Amino acid sequence: MTNAEKNQAELNATLRALRFRSSISGLLRHATSERELAQGACRIAVEDIGYLMAWVGEVIYDEAKSVKPLSHAGKAEDYLENAKVTWSDSEHGRGPTGTAVRENRAVICRDFKTDEALAPWREKALSLGFLSSIALPLVVDKKAIGVFTLYQGQPNEFPPDEVALLEEVARDIAYGFDAIRSKKREQTVNHLKSQFLDTAAHELRTPITALSLLVQHGLMHVKKGLPVDISTLNRMSTQISRLSGLIEDLLNTSRLERGVLALRKKDVELVGLVSDCLDEFKDRAPKRHFAFLHPPQEIKMLIDPVRIEQVLSNLLDNALKYSPEDSPIEVKIEMNTNEVRVWVCDQGPGIPKERQDDVFSRFFRMSTNETLAHPGLGLGLFICKSIVELHEGTIGLVSDLGQGCKFHFELPFTVKQK
């Protein structure tokens, strides 16, 4: 190729990339989902601009470090299905796509026939006519959320000016993905708020209605000169306690969101605190078996005893409500040189793995027969997580569907005063 031909080819590539970016700008204004945006970008790349093949992959932050094809256009056939692309530092992760994700930069393959990194895909790629490619990470907040890969039928494609413009295209697509996700998050939050207001109104109205009926019943007795029986007073007390608990959850959530929930820390012996809390639950549920396992020595910690007892009480209350009445509940304390871990284990229905990340979110409640039988606001575990994190600790769970739940929280021995 003469210099004039080379210059003309580079000019054509630059003009191609300019048209591409202009078309993507129009797509961004109309796409309403990530898939629609990905499909549109791939279609424009192949049908309008002339790339041989294009695909968008979603970066999965799982153990396998997968790249999941989201959309493609052009001569893909079963290429993507069998590509097994990953962004790990392995044979299937050292190609252009995996390297682009791992290193957050555009990666070019100049010649599929000679590039050693292309070995796992070379035979199939050459059969489809792919001879060069560029992989562009889709980066949001310095983190790759996707990757956009383009293929050409000639080697040594993608000159510098074209690459610079394609990087702009990738930034535009990443911006579009982020905007769509932000809109979805906003819609989800608004839906949750509306759902929460409905739930809160219902949950508050229930004890108020019950209490009102009990008061009317008591007043009728008083007007007739009859005493109010102890069972009526006990039922009133139960509804008042329930109402007080709901209001306290709302107030705690508001304080946490405003950052004004103060901890009052002092030196506390943790085994004794847990034991006292457990005794209260033994009185509440005398037919349940509670096991308590702990180290033989005292465990002195600088914590807010009221708040840590609130965390433990919430976990024990959930274990009582959502596990069979004849099943045991186990509380266990473990310790090492840096931290203490407290476990609360039940034999309830368990929580599916795909929902476990949600259980500590505000307003989240599982839609199961067990949860429907025990209404609430979905704030308890959110408050627990916030309190533990204020102590610079962590909280989590281990669960399999049908195998119960094992909630745990960790507290460091030395924490900064907040």
Averaged pLDDT of the chain: 86
The domain made up of 3-185 is a member of CATH 3.30.450.40? yes
CATH number listed for the domain at residues 193-258:
1.10.287.130
Residue 176 has pLDDT above 80, yes or no: yes
Q: Are 410 and 339 in contact (CB under 8 A)?
A: yes
Task: Delimit the CATH 1.10.287.130 region(s) of the chain.
Answer: 193-258
Residue 413 has pLDDT above 80, yes or no: yes
Q: What is the DSSP letter of 290?
A: E
CATH number listed for the domain at residues 266-412:
3.30.565.10
Q: Are 250 and 382 in contact (CB under 8 A)?
A: no
What distance in Å separates the CA atoms of residue 44 and residue 20, rounded to the nearest whole number?
Answer: 7
pLDDT at 365: 64
Say what angle helices 380-390 and 230-258 make with each other, to 10 degrees: 50
Q: Are 341 and 412 in contact (CB under 8 A)?
A: no
Reported as a single tens digit per residue, the pLDDT across 319-365 is 998 899 889 999 999 998 889 999 999 999 888 888 887 888 876 66
Sequence-distant (6+) residues with CB within 8 A of 308 are: 268, 270, 273, 387, 391, 411
Task: Delimit the CATH 3.30.565.10 region(s) of the chain.
Answer: 266-412
Mean pLDDT of 353-381: 68
Instruction: Tell me if the pTM is above 0.85.
Output: no
Q: Which of 4-18, 24-38, 337-351, 396-410 has the lowest mean pLDDT?
A: 4-18
Find tokens 């029986």 and name the residue.
Answer: 229
**Percent of the chain predicted with pLDDT > 70:** 90
> Who has greater pLDDT, 52 or 12?
52
Reported as a single tens digit per residue, the pLDDT across 96-138 is 999 999 999 999 999 999 999 999 999 999 999 999 999 999 9
Task: Delimit the CATH 3.30.450.40 region(s) of the chain.
Answer: 3-185
Reported as a single tens digit per residue, the pLDDT across 208-233 is 877 888 888 888 888 888 888 888 88
